[in-house]
Structure 1
Amino acid sequence: MTRIGIIGAGAAAAAAAWAIDTHSDATITVVEKSGGLCGRAATRRRGAVTYDYGANYLTAADDRVVDLMTETLDTEGLVDIDQPVYTFDSASHVTEGRDTDEHKWSYEQGLTQIAKRLFGRTAATVHRNTKATAIHRRGDRWEIVAGAERFGPFDSLLVNPPAPQTAALLADSTWDDPLRAELTTALETVDFRTVWTAIVGYPFEIERPYYALVNTDKSHAIGWIAREECKPGHVPAGESVLLIQASHDWSVTHYDDPPAENVTRLAEMASTILDDERLATPAWSDWQGWRYAQPETDAPTALLRAAEGHDLYCLGDWTVGTPRLHGALRSGLEIADRVRQSR
């Protein structure tokens, strides 16, 4: 029986695990450093409030992903954001935008439902709070090292973390092949956008004709503001929740500043953009720093394919040049195809 190891339980890994499990008799073992699932498509709950604090929604930009969401997975709780996305510039001037996304999907329970439902349809064993620290090649098999724990051997190894984190795993690998060093160096040079996010809640409704605002001239400290109450089931009536994503430059500069100070700064700037001074003093707040939020440069595709010849597969939105949630899911489905074809 084929044994598959997966590092990371993000959206790509979940899609790959489902597709492999559905079409083969492979055994699948997943190690995930956090206590949750779905990676940057992350959801938290605060009392009666639910908010997606990483990826904001899933689009219908890929046919296989649409089929996965609407035909394969249970659509109970699947919600679509009706309001459009507007734009704002460096002077905080808001204008109607061009909303090109046909659908903006989440779930009443949040985007983590994607991975939960996919893994729930498999027999995969998922080890949460288990951080992979290295990968080893033993003959023609792979092994995952997670502190004092060892997982494997595996016939194929799928690696879901962003390129720089995958490079770190390879750097400590015992894989004795010239491709290891070449691939490690190439992955270290894949650039990612850093995003520091503030989540702020208010005991009143914010009346606006849009779901979100995106900064189009890339000259503002804030890149994106979204109204979580536009997602059915996320925010109780009479309340509002804003997700405020800082720009890359601002996020890098302030990444290690005290979170409370960052939240205050971002809330004040958001209040100016939305022209409502009440928004400068939220009733509650949360935050998240994403050091590797979105890929900015192309992946070394030729080297990634060469690694697949050694049963090592990298997956995630950064591998397919589509830095959005549907890109991650598509990556997982395509990798599953190639894993099955190799066996």
Structure 2
Amino acid sequence: MTRIGIVGAGAASAAAAWALDRWLDDATITVFEKSGGLCGRAATRRNGDVTYDYGANYLKADDDRVVELVTETLDTDGLVDIGEPIHTFDGEGTVSPGRDADDHKWSYERGLTQIAKRLVGRTDAAVHRDTRVTAIDRDGDRWTVSIGSERRGPFDILLCNPPAPQTAALLAESDWDDPLRADLIDALEGVAFRTVWTAVLHYPFRIERPYYALVNTDEGHPIGWIAREQCKRGHVPDGESLLIVQASHDWSVAHWDDPPEENVAVLARMAGDVLGDERLATPDWTDHQGWRYAQPEDDPPRDLLRAAEDHAIYCLGDWTIGTPRLHGALRSGLDTADRVVASL
């Protein structure tokens, strides 16, 4: 029997767990997730009758294997394809028609987390939520994980889904006695990520625009992205609106420690300026989320990651393949499962 441990329940982990459960008859899979949800930065919340994706905004059809997974393997009930285009705005807040290069922009009526829920739901994996792994260790020729003072395992194979700096922190707490460990820590600590502070703004009236979202293309504005969540079927009741406003990296870093209510108020005013509607400065309810490691910006240390796999530890996630989008995370999970199976 092959015992597989997975740290983190992001989209990559969900895809890997599904594939490994399908291809390995004798495997047991255990997933440890620090939060109460699945799918990592592809995150969904609900407030009353409103559903909103407040991390990744949608899944694009940019990988044939992922498209097949979503449209043929998984149940398509509730799958939503956003029809409205994406327009652009510049540093002055001027909106222009524009950047709709994505053939499909998918979510679900119940939100993007459905991807991970549907994948993991097809497996016999044991998923431990609200369980934070604090260290990973090599115990002979197997791996263990630490949950506070308690160790879990051993595992023949370990998959790590956290962003590179967080995986480095886990390795830094490890007793793994191999020169590769120090090289991995140094390399993973050096992988740069964009930081994004997100405001969620709800209004008791309809905001009508000819686009689903606006993206800032010249990096000259404090806001990087504004999306109308009501363009996703089933997310926002008729007569209401909800905006997802994502700040630029520089603004997010500069205001990371500011009071959240102040950040929300500033982003609401700026969104109102871009959309030309002063009413948007006063939403009737709000939410927020800071994403410290929102999008990888550097190429991954591929040689070191492959060397680590010789020791039965695999890193996965969009950052490991240099494709900082949800489809990249899913593809990473599928490709990682391929390599695990090949190793056995």
TM-score by length of 1: 1.00
Secondary structure of 2:322's counterpart equals: coil
**Structure 2 Cα separation of the partners of residues 147 and 74 of structure 1:** 38
1:109 equivalent in structure 2: 110
TM alignment of 1:158-237, pairs within 5 A: 158-237=159-238
* Cα deviation digits, residues 34-58 of structure 1 (max 9, x gap): 0000000000000000000000000
- 1:149 CA displacement: 2.6
Question: Take 2:99 and 2:110, find their aligned partners in 1: how far apart are those partners?
Answer: 28
Is 1:3 aligned with 2:39? no
User: Distance between the aligned counterparts of 2:293 and 2:217, measured in 1?
Assistant: 21
Q: Report the secondary structure of 2:290's partner residue.
A: strand
Corresponding pairs, count: 343
**1:263-294 residue CA offsets vs partner (Å, 9 max, x unmatched):** 00000000000000000000100000000000
In the alignment, structure 1 residue 40 sits paired with structure 2 residue 41: yes
Whole-Å separation in 1 of the counterparts to 2:119 and 2:176: 31
Instruction: Quote the Cα distance in structure 1 between the aligned partners of 2:152 and 2:101.
Output: 44
Distance 2:152 2:19 in 1: 22
| Structure 1 counterpart of 2:168, one-letter code | A
Q: Which residue in the other structure is 1:320 paired with?
A: 321
Shift of 1:64: 0.5
- How far the C-alpha of 1:241 sits from its partner, in A, is 0.1
2:7 aligned partner, one-letter code? I
Distance 1:91 1:289 in 2: 25
Q: Measure how far apart 1:73 and its partner are.
A: 0.5
For structure 2, the residue ranges without an aligned partner over 5 or more in a row are none
CA–CA distance in 2 between the matches of 1:148 and 1:15?
Answer: 30
Q: Does 1:22 align with 2:22?
A: yes
2:292 is equivalent to residue 291 of structure 1: yes
CA distance in 2, matches of 1:98, 1:283: 30
Structure 1: 5+ residue stretches without partners: none
Deviations 1:278-337 (A, max 9, x none): 000001000000000000111100000000000000000000000000000000000000
Partner residue, 2:12: 12
Q: Which residue of 1 aligns with 2:131?
A: 130
Matched residue SS, 1:4? strand
Which residue of 2 is the match for residue 90 of structure 1? 91
Rounded to whole Å, the distance in 2 between the matches of 1:121 and 1:150 is 27
For the aligned residues, what is the CA RMSD? 0.5
The aligned amino acid for 1:235 is: V
Moved beyond 2 Å, runs of 4+: none
**CA distance in 1: counterparts of 2:105 and 2:174, whole angstroms:** 40
Give the AA of the match of 2:20. Answer: I
SS for the counterpart of 2:60 is coil
Distance in 2, Cα, partners of 1:234 & 1:159: 32
Distance 2:187 2:63 in 1: 28
